[in-house]
Structure 1
Amino acid sequence: MRRRPNYLAGLGSALWLFIVGLPIYVLVMATVQTRSGYGQNGPLGFPDDFTLSNFSDVFSGGFGHYYLNTVIVTASVVGIVLLLVPPLAYAIVRSRNKVISAVFRLFLLGLAVPAQAVIIPVFYVISTVGLYDNLIGVILPTAAFALPVSTLVLSGVMRDITPELFEAMAVDGATPRRMFFQLVLPLSKGGLSTIAVFSALQAWNGFLFPLILTQSNSTKLITMGLYDFQTQYGINIPGLLAAVILSMVPILLVYLFARRALVQGLMGAGGK
């Protein structure tokens, strides 16, 4: 049987495509024209002369150093999360110890505490230990605030592993250490990808901690480096949007290569 076309759904899809595509068009077109050309044509105008000078000007202005700092912070935060969360989540799932349960409840309490509420104590602690205006002073609190959600997600994934698998390995004489490395970690790849993407996103887009805990240009991150395009005479919009596009590329690549494992992690162990 022939199906009648749904013109209303097609119209709605076209309208939604226009709504989503318009900001992308404005973003891309602004980066390929000069500042004066952007001022003449406006945000919706088509550029008269295409140029890629905005991207080269971004790196010549020191944005490459901010980029490197952000990569260091992001990689360090992801490394800390992937080092601490899997054994903690495994202990929470498999242990019946009251201390472990209390630690898990403490982590859950961390979900209710926003970073804005404790930024003054964090600033005091970081300054006291001598880590102010240091990348380590940004890495540690960023990783700390990523731990509660990451622990909750990964412990939920590990709980989906059937007890029969643990019992079968126990019958074979496997130790808890061997179960962790040969059973739990392979079946938790989706959850590991989920917490890695989450912590990377938190670190890459972090604004509050770099704003409060850094000062000099040598420790600036991308989110703070965007302010360099604002002067007392105005804002270099094409240069700013070129920097925004460059800052979006790594996160888009992470989603591109980890999207399947990310979906599996959100669905549970094995993607069920």
Structure 2
Amino acid sequence: MSLTTSRQAPAPPDPAARAPPPGPHPHPPPRRAPNVLAGLGSLLWLVLVGLPLYVLLAATLQSRPDYQRSGPLGLPRHLTLDNYLDVFDNGFGHYFLNTAVVTVCVVVLVLLLVPPLAFAVVRGARPGTLRVFRLFLLGLAVPAQAVVIPMFYVISKAGLYDNLIGVILPTAAFCLPICALVLTGTMREIPGELYEAMTLDGASTWLVFRRLVLPLSRSGLSTVVVFSALQAWNGFLFPLVLTQSEDTKVVTLGLYNFQTQYGVNIPGLLAAVVLSTLPVLLVYLFARRALIQGLMGMGGK
């Protein structure tokens, strides 16, 4: 008789046996102590940011006598929108329209000139292209205050003094160097394999620029648009020197209408400031990420 022994496979471990008993964790994670200094610093920063906004908005909702009695930090007693209505009665709508025309024209000029220039610098085969681009970037080192007198002479001889075109051209010219630098960095982020693939497919230079470069440079183009629009909207020096009449005034110059020889209408002036900053605030809220990324050289990613 032969005895045979059979081995049984070990039973799988019971997961319930290894599970920890129900109840609180034996070693709860330590709680972090509240950072009192950080909280106080945040509260202080909130006060520093919120107090000017409160002074600005509260003054626009008060009449001039109430503002003089309560002061800038006082609570408004009788809310009114007369200051905003007075702003438009003083020609603010016309100034706003002039500023919008200057801003749109500057953005259009920058978009027509900067993308082909940046594309020629990135993909140009001629050896003198980079030298011309470096010479073009010297405009970054020239402040507008240093050339305002020659600019006034040129604009006057061209017959563009006291004309919005005379404001548009120099504003766009001073936007070109930084916009070209930003967009060139964006186009350098496009892989060279994509250029080679389209070239092998028989695409022309114009087709590569239109079908490949422009779609992949949207972030850089957004940065260029935002930067040039802000520069044109907030422009003060060129409109001050190159315009004179009421028909060509922009928003930044129209604020002087609230200052007379007898005093300053502070509630009306602050109401005009609020209305003039609304477009800038909206542009910043919707395009701040593109602007920051483009200025950091990340527009193509």
TM-score by length of 2: 0.87
**What secondary structure sits across from 1:151 in the alignment?**
helix
The match for 2:234 among 191, 196, 205 is 205
In structure 1, give the amino acid aligned to 2:135.
Answer: L
Letter in 2 for 1:173: G
Conservation of the 8 A alpha-carbon contact between 2:217 and 2:300: no
Preserved CA contact (<8 Å) 1:190 1:263: no
Between the aligned partners of 2:294 and 2:206, the Cα distance in structure 1 is 22
Kindly indicate whether the alpha-carbon contact (under 8 Å) linking 1:153 and 1:191 is maintained by their aligned counterparts in 2.
Answer: yes
Match 1:149 to one of 175, 178, 202: 178
Counterpart contact for 2:220–2:300, Cα < 8 Å: no
Distance (whole Å) between structure 2 residues aligned to residue 271 and residue 10 of structure 1: 38
Higher helix share: 1
Identify which of 92, 104, 109 aligns with 2:133: 104
In structure 2, the partner of 1:30 is 59
In structure 2, what is the Cα distance between the partners aligned to 1:270 and 1:203? Answer: 22
* Corresponding residue for residue 167 of structure 1: 196
Report the AA paired with residue 102 of structure 1.
Answer: R
Q: Does 1:126 align with 2:169?
A: no
Where do residues 187-266 of structure 1 align in structure 2 (5 Å cutoff)?
187-266=216-295
Pair 1:85-2:111 in alignment: no
Q: Residue type matched to 1:128 in 2?
A: K
Q: Aligned letter for 2:282?
A: L
Between the aligned partners of 1:189 and 1:266, the Cα distance in structure 2 is 14
Alignment size in residue pairs: 272
What is the alpha-carbon distance in structure 2 between the residues aligned to residue 104 and residue 230 of structure 1?
Answer: 45
Structure 2 CA distance for aligned equivalents of residues 267 and 119 of structure 1: 30
Contact 1:70 1:221 (C-alpha < 8 Å) held by counterparts: yes
Deviation for aligned residue 1:44: 0.7
| Contact 2:60 2:271 (8 Å CA) reproduced | yes
Q: Structure 2 CA distance, aligned partners of 1:271 and 1:96?
A: 22
Deviation at 1:49, TM superposition (A): 0.6
Query: Hey, what does 1:50 align to over in structure 2?
Result: 79
1:140 to 156, 166, 169: 169
Residue 3 of structure 1 deviates from its aligned partner by 2.6
Equivalent position of 1:69 in the other structure: 98
The alpha-carbon distance between structure 1 residues 172 and 270, as it changes in their structure 2 partners (threshold 3 A), is: farther
Provide the C-alpha distance between the structure 1 equivalents of 2:109 and 2:240, rounded to a whole number of angstroms. Answer: 22
Question: How far is the alpha carbon of 1:271 from its aligned partner?
Answer: 5.8
The aligned residue for residue 42 of structure 2 is 13
In the alignment, the residues of structure 2 paired with residue 267 and residue 29 of structure 1 have an alpha-carbon distance, to the nearest angstrom, of: 37
Given residue 95 of structure 1, which amino acid in structure 2 is its aligned partner?
G
Deviation at 1:96, TM superposition (A): 3.1
% same residue: 69
In our comparison, the structure showing a higher alpha carbon Rg is 2
Q: Distance in 2 between matches of 1:24 and 1:96?
A: 53
Shift of 1:267: 4.6
Offset at residue 102 of structure 1 (A) = 2.7
Once the two structures are TM-superposed, the CA of residue 270 in structure 1 deviates from its matched residue by: 6.0
Tell me how far 1:92 sits from its aligned partner.
Answer: 0.6
Unaligned stretches of 5+ residues in structure 2: 1-28
Alignment partners' CA distance in 2, 1:261 and 1:12: 29
- Evaluate the alpha carbon distance shift between residue 190 and residue 3 of structure 1 in structure 2; reply closer, same or farther with a 3 A threshold: same
1:262 CA displacement: 2.8
Q: Is the 8 A contact 1:54 1:238 kept in 2?
A: yes
**Is the aligned partner of 1:4 residue 2:33?**
yes
Asked whether the 8 Å contact 2:115–2:183 carries over to 1, the reply is yes
- Supply the AA of the counterpart residue of 1:100: T
When the two structures are superposed, what TM-score results if normalisation uses the length of structure 1? 0.96
Shift in Å at residue 9 of structure 1?
Answer: 0.8
1:187-241 Cα shifts (integer Å, max 9, x gaps): 1111111111111111100000000000000000001000000001100000000
